[in-house]
Amino acid sequence: MDFFETLSLRCPGLTIQKNIRLDKYTTLRVGGPADYFAEPAGEGELIQLLKAAKDAGVPVLLMGNGSNLLVRDGGFRGLAVRLCKAFSRIEPWEGGLSAQAGALLSALSRAAADAKLTGLEFAQGIPGTVGGGVYMNAGAYGGELGAIIDSVRVLDGDTVQTLSPAEMAFGYRFSRAMRDGLLVLGARFRLQKGDGEAIEAAMRDFASRRKEKQPLEYPSAGSFFKRPAGHFAGALIEQAGLKGCQVGGAQVSEKHAGFLINRGGASASDFLQLMALVQDKVENLSGVRLEPEVRIVGDDKL
């Protein structure tokens, strides 16, 4: 019995697909096929699915909105699990808002504004989900999710745990979930009552700044590189004369050098070659080796 049949028996209500291309599930719009693909309908189904994969020794790729993900052209030899609508609930609690892993950060920020709660304005334009955002401690404009989290629900093997911010060990684009391979199921955010007009004004300001400075008209993964200590990645790339540099359909944005964009028809290989070119030239000029912020997974060839 192959893994597909095993999954079908162990998760009878779940639709499992074979050889599904992942490019349409990433904001870069690149990526080859996953051997298996599923979108579980709830935590129970998710836990069953992951246990079946673990028992069979099949690698798992967990996905949200695919906004910080580069899947190589050969795709992923294993099971891609996407947490989306079934994991998108946002609810109030006495200290702020609670959200499941599949909720979009933009939707969470909007819900906070509607409730006149301040603290999440910076997240209104981040294209990722709560799960991915907490996993990497996403942030923008001086704000980070780790700074406003009350607790995080994670799946550690077969066990669901609730961790405090200290236990999550948040750092710059880092958390314990990333270090220990924990699956973020959801989080509670500590927010304060605020002035509705001031909150809306802050969100409009952030949206305006994003539109003015970021290449929102093209597929991208957001900031492609981590911010190196004492520097800004975009500034180093621009100083190296790399704005507009292109490999195939992948280009260093002419609007913001910290973004690598898909000008149309780009492959994952184009992005990987462009990334290496940028890293080498920046290092040769400044001595700083840029590290990718995006998660790179999969095989180069089928």
How far out from the chain centre does Cα 67 lie? 5
Q: Which residues contact 29 (CB under 8 A, 6 or more apart)?
A: 23, 219, 262, 266
Say which of 72, 82, 153, 173 is annotated catalytic: 173
Provide, for the chain, the percentages of residues in helix, strand and coil under a 3-state DSSP scheme, each rounded to the nearest 5: 35, 30, 35
Exposed e or buried b per residue across 241-275, where buried means at least 16 C-beta atoms within 10 angstroms of its C-beta: ebbebbbbbbbbbeebbbbbbbeeebbbbbbbebb
Neighbours of 67 (CB within 10 A): 22
Torsion angles phi and psi, residue 270, rounded to 5: -60, -45
Secondary structure (DSSP) of 243-276 = TT-EETTEEE-SS-TTEEEE-SS--HHHHHHHHH
Three-class SS of residue 2? coil
Q: Catalytic residue at 173?
A: yes
Q: Catalytic residue at 223?
A: yes
Say which of 98, 220, 223, 267 is annotated catalytic: 223
Q: What is the dihedral of CA 161, 84, 132, 48, to 10 degrees?
A: 40
Torsion angles phi and psi, residue 24, rounded to 5: -75, -10
Three-class SS of residue 277? helix
Residues acting as catalytic residues: 173, 223, 293
